[in-house]
Amino acid sequence: MNLKFGKSRAQFFSAFQGIDQQLLFSFLAILSIGLIMVYSSSISHADFKYSDNLFYLKRHLMFLILGAAVSTIIVLIPSHIWSKLGIFIFILSIFLLIAVLFTPKINGSRRWISLGFFNLQSAEFAKFAIIIFLASYLEKHHQKLKNQWRSVLSPLIIISLVVLLLFRQPDYGSIVVISITAFCMLFIVGIPLWQFGIISVLSIFGLAYIAIMEPYRIERLKSFLDPWLDPRDAGYQVTNSLMAFGEGEWFGVGLGNSVQKLHYLPEAHTDFIFSIYAEEFGLVGVIIVIFLYIILIHRILHIARKAIKSKAWFCTYCCIGIAVILALQSFINIGVTSGLLPTKGITLPFISYGGSSLLVCIAMISLVLRISSEVNIAGTTAKRVRRVRTQN
């Protein structure tokens, strides 16, 4: 009995050995900033709406605790098991994307499934699912994808199905993020450039059509080009976001001293939380957060490179997909809040308030941490074997 317990305990702790320390540090640092900013940006809105200025902070803490449990489970599961689970995770995501279409509309969209204690955003789960499934598919068929153009059709059909279901919600921000991530994964696997070129051109035309097919999106593009033309309506969010950046100057107005969060800037604790952060911490604070994201993405790509050396293709494609999706979401959110991109409704990973987004982002990083442990241990073992052979 004691022997079995000791073995189980050893297996438990071995899963955490070799975890990339720089990735873990940057991840925890961004999470900490997110915790502080959710409280700071939501305090006024929470007090007004719920008569409890800690409402969003308490819920965010609940999601962090749940995320810690999810993270522990993911780190304990070997990557080859995740590869086998890919198809089942994808089927579950399709089921959720269909189920959400039968839910009541909220602000003109059907994006959330009520689970009682929180609303699950099916599109966020689909981001995780498409990466796992595509990585599993590419691992098995990467040689065929390089030589047989018909092999590219299967992942394209899968991506198109997800895009179609997201279009029905509608959730155009997620369509852009998932499409670009999937195409980057296909590009990395080495499909012929002419195929990738055709896919890219068709996708650009499709996204452009989506962007102009609704009048409100045309107005959104106009407000992006010059938000000051209509600062009280179409350009209201962007102009207030820019004012928050301007107020922050070099070092910010100080934690908790933001003016824009006092019912001036909509979505101050979700999509536009970075504007409040810029106002309170200034340009220096903005540079620090961007630097932390750069470290995070760099370490994920570094782990992907190690996985390539180990010929762990599922791990490689997972890391590439996760790096792209986190980099893309961060870039889009920061670009939107600073007026460099039109509004998309994309949250800032690990910082914006939102249970589904936070849990999925934690799950992604946890999987990368598991992969980092495996490739680092494999690399250490290989070095030992080479050393022994050299000595002999």
pLDDT digits (tens, 9 = 90+) for 283-296: 999 999 999 999 99
- What span, in angstroms and rounded, lies between the C-alpha atoms of 72 and 341? 36
CB atoms within 10 A of CB 165: 21
Instruction: Flag whether pLDDT at 157 surpasses 70.
Output: yes
Name the band, by pLDDT with cuts 50, 70 and 90, for residue 143: confident
- Over residues 175-186, the mean pLDDT reads 90
Residue count (the chain) = 392
Q: Which two tokens stand for residue 128?
A: 């995780």
Instruction: Flag whether pLDDT at 267 surpasses 90.
Output: no
Q: What is the mean pLDDT of the chain?
A: 85
Which residue has better confidence, 384 or 330? 330
Can you give the residue ranges of every domain in the chain? 28-76+242-380, 86-213
**What percent of the chain is predicted at pLDDT more than 90?**
46
- Over residues 38-60, the mean pLDDT reads 90
4-8, 221-225, 273-277, 351-355: range with lowest mean pLDDT: 4-8
| Helix %, strand %, coil % of the chain (to 5) | 75, 0, 20
List the beta bridge partners of residue 119: 114
Name the band, by pLDDT with cuts 50, 70 and 90, for residue 115: confident
Instruction: Flag whether pLDDT at 392 surpasses 70.
Output: no
Query: What per-residue confidence (pLDDT) applies to 381?
Result: 65
**Are the CB atoms for 33 and 277 separated by under 8 Å?**
yes
Query: What per-residue confidence (pLDDT) applies to 169?
Result: 83
- Over residues 262-274, the mean pLDDT reads 88
Name the band, by pLDDT with cuts 50, 70 and 90, for residue 228: confident
**Are the CB atoms for 37 and 286 separated by under 8 Å?**
no
List the beta bridge partners of residue 112: 121
Query: What per-residue confidence (pLDDT) applies to 5?
Result: 44
The letter for the amino acid at 292 is L
- What span, in angstroms and rounded, lies between the C-alpha atoms of 50 and 43? 10
Q: Which two tokens stand for residue 233?
A: 């309506």
Q: Is the dihedral of CA 152, 157, 158, 164 positive or negative?
A: positive
Which residue has better confidence, 294 or 3? 294
Instruction: Flag whether pLDDT at 364 surpasses 60.
Output: yes
Does the reported pTM lie above 0.85? yes
- Over residues 368-391, the mean pLDDT reads 76
Q: Is 255 helix (H, G, I), strand (E, B) or coil?
A: coil
**Are the CB atoms for 111 and 171 separated by under 8 Å?**
yes
Q: Is the dihedral of CA 355, 347, 349, 87 positive or negative?
A: positive
Q: What are residue 83's phi and psi, to 5 degrees?
A: -60, -40
Query: What per-residue confidence (pLDDT) applies to 15?
Result: 62
53-57, 62-66, 339-343: range with lowest mean pLDDT: 339-343
Instruction: Flag whether pLDDT at 206 surpasses 90.
Output: no
Tens-digit pLDDT profile for residues 67-99: 999 999 999 999 999 999 999 999 999 999 999
Instruction: Flag whether pLDDT at 215 surpasses 70.
Output: no
